[in-house]
Amino acid sequence: MSLNEPKVLRRDAAQNRERLLDAAERVFTDYGMDASVDEIARVAGVGMGTLYRRFPTKDALISALVRKLLNDLVVIANAARDRTDGRGLEQLLYGTGEVIASQRGCLPRLWNDEETKALKAEYWRIVTELLIAAKAAGRIREDLTDTDLEVLFWAMRGVVETTRGVVDTAWKRHLALSIAGMRPGAEELVEAPLDERLAVQARTRLHSSGRNAETAAANQPPG
């Protein structure tokens, strides 16, 4: 046995993993998250045994996709922290929109995947920091909350999913209009912001609806 053989195997395993993630992103984007892992393996050009060695369950594959996306978001968030003019939050919002629009396959699980809580916590910690800086710089109204921003991300996902393949940049106008409403001096808000308790309920419902859709699709007879 060659001494180099284990390294070749590790490299092949890493390549297969990336091939499967890329295939899953394309398949989930085209057919939704109810698409079968058989189709993902076919698009990746690997056997089912290879898929299950890398990802023992479909959930594991989805969580890996979400982790990849969240890693991108954390990089964007950290880059936005370098701004000293209070515009870091706006930079983060547009950067997040670009990522969401370009990596659409796992959006239904982005904010409610159970395996990536630490990454989400890091991302939201930076979002909160940038929100405070934007308020201090007079860029954002004082009554805006982090849950307001979370709802904005939910809305952005809806715009991206609804307009994909028609006007893929529609989310940018929606975001620009939203940011305009966040400016100091905009009209007073009548509705109270979503508190954390209600936000948790909304996340749970979003998570449950995504799970139910996947389960229903999985249980459908072929044909």
The total of other beta-carbon atoms located within 10 Å of residue 166's CB is 7
pLDDT, one tens digit per residue, over 27-61 is: 998 888 889 999 999 999 999 999 999 999 999 99
SS3 content of the chain, % helix, strand, coil (to 5): 70, 0, 30
CA distances from 28 to 31, 42, 61 (A): 5, 13, 11
- In whole angstroms, give the CA distance from residue 214 to residue 121: 26
Most confidently modeled range among 3-12, 25-34, 60-69, 76-85:
76-85
pLDDT on residue 206:
65
The total of other beta-carbon atoms located within 10 Å of residue 62's CB is 22
The total of other beta-carbon atoms located within 10 Å of residue 182's CB is 21
pLDDT, one tens digit per residue, over 152-196 is: 998 998 898 888 888 889 999 999 999 999 999 878 888 888 887
- In whole angstroms, give the CA distance from residue 212 to residue 108: 12
- In whole angstroms, give the CA distance from residue 89 to residue 97: 12
- In whole angstroms, give the CA distance from residue 75 to residue 89: 14
78 vs 32, residue with greater confidence: 78
